[in-house]
Structure formats: C-alpha cells, structure tokens
Amino acid sequence: MKKHLSGLLLLFYIGITSANPDNDFLTARDAFHSGDKTRLVTYSSRLQTHLLAPFVNYYKLRHQLINSDTETIRAFISQNEDSVVSDRLRSEWLKILGKKQQWQLFAEQYPRLVNKNMEVLCYSMQQRLFSEDASVLYKARELWFTEHSMPNSCTPVFDTLIASRLISEEDIWTRIRLSLETGHTGVAKHISQHLSGNQALSLPKLKISAANPLRYLEQQTKIETRSDREIALFAIQSLLRSDTNRAYAYWLKIQEQFPLTDQSYFYGKLAFRAALRHDSRALSWFTKAQNDKNKLTEEQFAWKARAALREENWELLLETIESMPILVQQSDIWRYWTARALQVQSRHEDANAIFPILSNKHTYYGQLAKEALGATLEVPAKSYETNTKEINAIQKVPGIQRALTLFRLNLRIDAVREWNWAIRHFDDIQLLAAANVAYQYGIYDRAINTAKKTVNHHDYNLRFVAPHRDQLQSIIQPHDLDEAWVYGLIRQESRFIAGISSRAGAMGLMQVMPATAKWVAERMGMKDYRQNLAVEIDTNLRLGAYYLKHVLTTLDNQPLLASAAYNAGPGQAQRWRATTSLEGAIYAETIPYRETRNYVKKVLNNSIYYAKILEHGDKSPTLTQRLGVIEPK
C-alpha cells in the first residue's frame, strides 16, 4: 500500500513540475481573482522565469498590499516600470495612502501616476487641502457639477467646499437637477442630505414620481416649494422621453407656477427632444429656451443647429453656430457647416478661408471640405519604410513580448493595456515597426491604432488593413457589394477582431446579432447552423454580407441608409428620412443616435480610403457621392 501511494505521489510531483507554464499562469491569475492566496503563492513560485512574471508578482503583492512595507512596494514599481502593472500597483497604493492620510508619501507618488482616476484625484485634492493649498478648492468645485455618483474620497473635499460656502444651496439644487434629469435618483437623494429639513427634496414624492410620472403629475397640481418644482420637472421630463405631445400638454397646465428661468430650462429640454425626433416645432421652442438669463447647453446648441440644417435654414444655422462657445465653433463639424452656410449665402471668399485649412485633415469633414474645393483624396505615400532590423528590435521589447503572450492567451484587456504601455513613448519609426509586428501576428486592431499615432511618418496600409481579402471577395461578389464599403464597415464594427462579442451580443468581424444571424442562416439554407459558428470568419462574413445586401436592397441601394440600418436597424433608418429629398450629409448629421451618427460617418469615410488602398481606380465614388441624396419617406 505504501509503495503504491509513493508511486502516486511521484506521478503527482512529475505532473506539477512538467505543467504547461501558460496554464500555470492562468491558474495563478484565477487564484488572484478568486482570492485564493495559498494557491497563488504556490503557482507564483514556479513562474519567476516566465515572461509574465511581472503580472504574477503584481497579483501576489496586490493581495498583501495593505500590509506591505514601503520599500517592497517601491522596489516592485521600480523593477517593473516597463510594464503597466507598475502603474496599476501605484494606483492601488495611492488609494491606501489616501485612506490612511499618509500625505507626504502620497504627494511624492501621485505625480508619477500615469493612468489617473477620480478616486485617486479626490485623494490628491484632500492632500492639497491638508497642505493648505487653497487653490485646489476652485478646481474641486468643478467636480461637484455632475449627475454621477462620486467616490467616497471626494466626500471630505465636497464637505469642505460646502462648509466654506464655495458650494451654495443653489449649487446643491443644480446638482440635484443634473441627477434627476438623467434618472440618477439615488444621487439626488444623497445630495439632498446637504439641505436643511423643510428645504430638502421630498423623498416620498420623488419615489411616487419615479414609479409613475403621469399619475404624479395628475395628482400634484399645486406646486409650491423648490422640491415640488424639481420633482415636477423630473416627472415631466420622464414623459418627454417617450411622448413629446403628452409632456407638452401637461407643461402648459403647470408652467405658470414656475419662474421664468425654470420655464426656459424646460423649453430647452423640450426643444432638444423635439429636434431629436425631427419635430418641426423644435426651433420655436429653442427660441423660448434662449434668453439673457438662460444659455443653451452645448448639446442643445448642437441640436438647434441640426434642426436648422434639417430645414436647410442656412441663415439660422450660421446664427446658431456663431452663438456657440468659441471652442465649440472651432470644432471640425461646425467649421465645415459654417463654410457650407457661407457658400449658400454666396459668401464664397469667407467659405474658402475655411475649406482649405479643414481639407488638410484626414477626417470625414476634412474629406468633405476637400471635395467642396473640387479635389479628390490622395492617400499619403509611405514616408518611411520600416526594415526587418527595426521590426525585430521592437519584437524583442519586453512589454511587446508580454502583450503578444497575453493576446495568445486570449487575455485581451490585459494585452491591450500592456501594449499601450509599451508603445507610449515610441517615436514614429518605432510605432510603424510595432504596427507591423501587430499585423504579422494578426492583431489587426493594434496595427490600426498604433499606426494612427504617428505624427510625421505614416503608413495608411497599416491604418486601413485589409485581411482575409480573397475570402471576402469570393463572398461579396455574388451580392455585388462594394469591397471598399464592406471593409470600411468591418473596420468600424470590429477592427478585424474575429472572436469579439459586443455587450449587446453582436458577434464576429461583422458584429452580427444572434437573432439576425439565425434569420440569415435560415434564409441562406444553412441547415447545420449553430450560434457558436457565427464567430468563425467564413461564416460570419457570409452572414454579414447577406444581411448587408438585404438592407441595401430594401433601402434604395443607398449605402448611407444601409450603414445606418446595419447599426441601428432598418426601421430607424427609414424613420429618419425627411418628407422631402435630403442631402446625404444632412441626413447623416441629423441622425438622433450619437453612436449611429458617428458610425455612418466613419464607415463611409473609411470606404474612401479603402477604395484608394485597394486600387479600385479613379471611378470609385467620392464621399459626397457615397452620401448621396436621401429620398422622402
């Protein structure tokens, strides 16, 4: 029996010592996340020569950080400065130092932190208050005006501001309103604690209004206190999200009980929602919202401009842009539309002062500006060709090696963080070499994002990679789909990460939703289709191409509409049409969903570059032609 047992122990020992180091690392990582300290220590001892030893040592030290001595922590950070784990540990250490109010050591370490977060930032403000740095109070005040819950480390800072009367009662109500208008009722309740008893927010009324805003408004006809006003505005805005007319009807019943500033505030909200719905009343409501005492928010200004644009009221568009804050006016979007408005008004000299400057940018608006001047896109030629020596040198950088290993282990979040840390000080030549390394390993998203960081030397073949080309061409040719457009869409959808899934469940290169994939598979007669097949490259391209052709055909063969439909659904793309013909650029600009609005611009702009890079010839459509004209509903 003893002989048999010793034999088993020998086999067990051999099994441990010959274990796959990568599996050992994954086990150590799981032990860290599950809080199994004993298992972590056991496995970390075997991994000291592993490429990912810095991560293992981070896991080990992180578990005992609160009890670790300063020199041990300093040594780890110093020894691992070339890895993102050094910054992660410093961040966690600063939180502990802040909680313990060890301000001298905190002040020494905080400036060295690269990836700062709100919790540590508020500890930094506590440290500066401790050092009697009064200037921090005015910086801290800016943090107050948010609808979001703030870390506990911010509480002493805000308490000091309130005690110093740098945050007034009106400021408290302002933050309550910010929280309520975005549905963060818990934050509003918490902030209300800073108000005295009979002046505070009525929590029972808030609860009723949150549960059933319509019933609350029907029962609460008399509005007397500040709390009543804020809760009524909260309730009516809840209605406004789903029904403009009903909210407006209730507003007309109660508006006389509100001061003029509150009336202007509500009309701003009403106009904004109406503009999102392409409601023709939006512009008149914006007029009621804007007066000497009430300025529109940046978002409201943008949608007033879009409402004017939708109606092709160029004079009002120009007037609205000129009323925006200076920095907003100077953004590419409003510089382009300013030039367009000037052009319509025959102010060509003024317009042509804007277009040339904008046309130098390789962006959606830069391309539109270039075409407005009658020019076509010229993809910059490679200004530098990286050589094998440079690529090999980058591949030997420890941070790059660790990132590649993490990608191989499918630990994408850690891999991206390590990659970004490794390249953060690279010059253009090193960035291009790193992008080539990423491309060679099939990590196309890092190839794109790394190549995009260059300042003087560029390689647009790396910014617009085109993997799986033979495979894709054989799939899209029967559907007569434009290769450049499909590549532009895939680049925006997934950055060519084959196995990726979105939070909503979209899968693979073309980010096909499960229900869509199933429907397409049935239409294509794929009898053996299973959901796990949808992330396979060939299957995903077939499903995505079929669906893209379907929405293109049903939407007038218009790439802009089909792109919007691919992102937001065909019903929405149809709903956003106007009652008259609409320039495609105006349709794109007035898409209510921010994600879809940015998506279609990027997809179609990508298409222009792919058409050049894939050498589709001079007959390839311009961006303006791809945007086209959207016919009426």
Angstrom distances, CA of residue 466 to CA of 169, 242, 434, 474, 613: 57, 42, 18, 14, 9
Active site residue 218: no
- The residue annotated as part of the active site, out of 378, 493, 536, 595, is 493
Tell me how far the alpha carbon of residue 614 is from its chain's centroid.
29
State which H helix or E strand residue 630 sits in.
strand 629-630
Contacts of residue 463, Cβ cutoff 8 Å, sequence gap at least 6 = 448, 451, 452, 609
CA angle 68, 69, 71 (to 5 degrees): 125
Contacts of residue 24, Cβ cutoff 8 Å, sequence gap at least 6 = 43, 46, 47, 50
Could you tell me the sign of the dihedral formed by the alpha carbons of 174, 178, 179, 180, in that order?
positive
Single-letter code of the amino acid located at 78: S
| Two tokens, residue 495 | 């950055």
Burial class (CB in 10 A: 0-12, 13-18, 19+), 13: exposed
Q: Following DSSP, what letter does each residue of 473-501 receive, concatenated? A: HHHHGGGT--HHHHHHHHHHHHTT-TT-B
Angstrom distances, CA of residue 605 to CA of 30, 511, 559, 563, 598: 42, 19, 12, 12, 11
Which letter, b or e, does each residue of 459-474 get, where b requires 16 or more Cβ atoms within 10 Å of its Cβ? bbbbbbbbbbeeebee
Residues 578, 632 contacting (CB under 8 angstroms): yes
Please give the Cα distance from 57 to 48 (Å, whole number): 8
Angstrom distances, CA of residue 242 to CA of 120, 189, 237, 276, 411: 39, 24, 9, 12, 41
State which H helix or E strand residue 582 sits in.
strand 582-583
Q: Name beta bridge partners: 501.
A: 507
Residues 399, 82 contacting (CB under 8 angstroms): yes
CA angle 194, 197, 198 (to 5 degrees): 125
Task: Quickly tell me which residue has 């909210």 as its tokens.
Answer: 247
Residues taking part in catalysis:
493
